[in-house]
Structure 1
Amino acid sequence: MTSERTLPAPRPHRVVVLALDGLLPFELGIPQRIFRLARDDQRRRLYEVVTCSVRPPGPVETDSDFAIMVENGPEILATADTVVVPASYELGPVHDEGVLTEELAAALDHVRPGTRLVAICTGGYVLAAAGYLDGRPATTHWASAEHFQRLFPQVRVDADVLFVDDGDVLTSAGVAAGIDLCVHIVRRDHGTAVANEVARRTVVPPHRDGGQAQYIERPVPDPQQSSTTNARAWALARLQEPIQLRDMAAQESMSVRTFTRRFREEVGVSPGQWLTGQRVERARHLLESTALSVDQVARDSGFGTAQSMRQHLQAALGVTPSAYRRTFRSDLSTACGE
């Protein structure tokens, strides 16, 4: 009688965070906080997070009244599955001229081809100066977006979103949007359930509505004017039903035109784009957590038909419903209508 062989634990995905002089301590801590909380169903860490400098081990200055001691030099970048570059206030020629310093260029030479690259806020300047964003979509803090686009005209800058996922290169808007991006990466790698647990433990929303447009400074609105909060809550309670724009506007006693303008100002996207995003999230949750057929998931998430849901999931995630379910619910039988 042979004993059952225990399979070795999978190696955690290694995330290396590049600490640059002038860094923001808050942003440096985001990858540590988010990725280190992600666990599998046996409570094993799914990510290993290490920090490195562009120089040999030693202190790195921050934008605050303290420095941090970094124990790894740039050679550790060669071991990364994902490299994260947080923002820094001392990017020098990277920010002013769009070129890397010799020290930074030498550090990035350690990054292996195929490594996933992530920038938080103005960390995108580093990726752009290194040529990683050429011809690709990206974002950065809204206050820097115009300057970023002038400096790197070859990059397709979208200043309205919280983050951009372009497969192996991802960029986020300012500061806290780095949390949104890291939670998104956990969701992309391991599914909604793991990402939601990380979000709960961090006390942040698992998915924020809209984009940067809602945070750009604008004239203070008349306090007597209604927001679109009630309409969004009303829609979320009946995502499985057909929802017309006029019905959402009626929840706030607004004309369709006024409601659409106010909604975009507050949320950063149109009501239609927001509804589609919410339905995609509902479909993902149902595909991961239930054995419902694809047809039923499509109906319960408001897409109506499986074909419509496939089109929207393909556009949003790059995969079909059945492929998504196989990735995150391998325990489910393919007899679920796929």
Structure 2
Amino acid sequence: MRATNRRTGRMIFETCFVGLQAGPVECSHGVTLNATDTVNSSELDAILVPGSWAESAHHVEKALATYANLVKGLSVRSSRRHLWSYCTGVCLLAASGPLNDQPATVTWWLAEAMVKRYNKVHWQSEHNCVFNERTATASGVNGYLPIAQTLIERNVSPEVLRDLIKLMVLSRPALPHTVFNATSLIEQPGKLLRKLHILLEQMPAEQITVKALAGTLGMSERTLARKVRNETGLAIGAYARRVKLSQVGERITLTSVRSA
């Protein structure tokens, strides 16, 4: 965030540490951080909840009990505040409630436990980062990076983000198998395919028909089929199957929960 401010010459982002109360917070390994504000401060635009060290779902359960007061604090609704988290910190957001009825992701080895424990969340563990209107979640210990990159791209510009990735030597995303290149949401060239991609991920496979898709997207079946073929070179049925196969393949890899 500081690099973004320096690159643009403007104070776009300002960060601080917050806690249940303002003041020193004792962390792991003897580190003490100074919280300058509380999690429910009206001055905050967003809170990023980091992960904590855990080696199993049982460790996460113990952490949720330890941080019960924090979970309670994060559950307080605010019309202004955004809530973001990554790695095991996503479990704190799930426990506090703001992810209910929202798409979210989590670190792969926690996917099955989270699907079972927080079934009101629309888990999409096949994604490494999921942004909603007021929440964002990312997987992995470096999950803060895709969250920050999305913020910079949306609030500043893609050009500035590319500069920062180059100057800060940030890792580039891994390439998927070529058969699924067309199924990555970020690779969709137009708004229609992005909307269609999200819709396909949300719908059970047995409910997917051209009629249902076209009706939801507000166009005729023929128009939808023509536009999908023009942009992808695929019939809409083939495109839908490819998206669902990619999605289900990831879920089978990460969980034992039945996929549809």
Shared fold (TM-score, shorter chain, > 0.5)? yes
Do the aligned partners of 2:75 and 2:98 also contact (CA within 8 Å) in 1? no
Stretch moving more, 97-106 or 170-179: 97-106
Alignment CA distance shift 1:133-1:194 (3 Å): same
TM-score, normalised to structure 1, is 0.50
Do the aligned partners of 1:180 and 1:208 also contact (CA within 8 Å) in 2? no
Count of paired positions: 196
* Structure 1 stretches lacking a partner, 5+ long: 1-34, 215-262, 281-308, 318-338
1:115 aligns with 2:25: no
- Give the deviation of 1:279 after TM superposition: 6.0
Alignment CA distance shift 1:315-1:73 (3 Å): same
| CA deviations over 1:108-160 (Å, ceiling 9, x no partner) | 36663231211111111111111101111111110111111111011111121
* 1:70 aligned residue: 34
Instruction: Say which of 34, 43, 59 aligns to 1:79.
Output: 43
Q: 1-side partners of 2:106 and 2:39: how far apart? A: 27
Stretch moving more, 73-82 or 43-52: 73-82
Moved over 4 A (4+): 90-94, 96-102, 313-317
Q: 1-side partners of 2:142 and 2:96: how far apart? A: 24
RMSD between superposed Cα atoms in Å: 3.3
Do the aligned partners of 1:74 and 1:107 also contact (CA within 8 Å) in 2? no
Report the 3-state secondary structure (helix = DSSP H, G, I; strand = E; otherwise coil) of the residue aligned with 2:42: helix
Alignment of 1:69-218 (within 5 A): 69-74=33-38, 77-89=41-53, 95-96=61-62, 101=67, 103-105=69-71, 107-108=73-74, 112-205=78-171, 208-209=173-174
Report the 3-state secondary structure (helix = DSSP H, G, I; strand = E; otherwise coil) of the residue aligned with 1:49: coil
TM-score, normalised to structure 2, is 0.63
Do the aligned partners of 1:74 and 1:110 also contact (CA within 8 Å) in 2? no
Q: 1-side partners of 2:7 and 2:101: how far apart? A: 39
Alignment of 1:1-338 (within 5 A): 35-39=1-5, 43-62=9-28, 65-74=29-38, 77-89=41-53, 95-96=61-62, 101=67, 103-105=69-71, 107-108=73-74, 112-205=78-171, 208-209=173-174, 263=177, 270-274=180-184, 277-278=186-187, 280=189, 309-312=190-193
Alignment CA distance shift 1:198-1:88 (3 Å): same
Report the 3-state secondary structure (helix = DSSP H, G, I; strand = E; otherwise coil) of the residue aligned with 1:59: strand
Among the aligned pairs, what percent are the same residue? Answer: 17
Alignment CA distance shift 1:66-1:121 (3 Å): same
Q: 1-side partners of 2:59 and 2:142: how far apart? A: 25
Q: 1-side partners of 2:68 and 2:107: how far apart? A: 26
Larger radius of gyration: 1
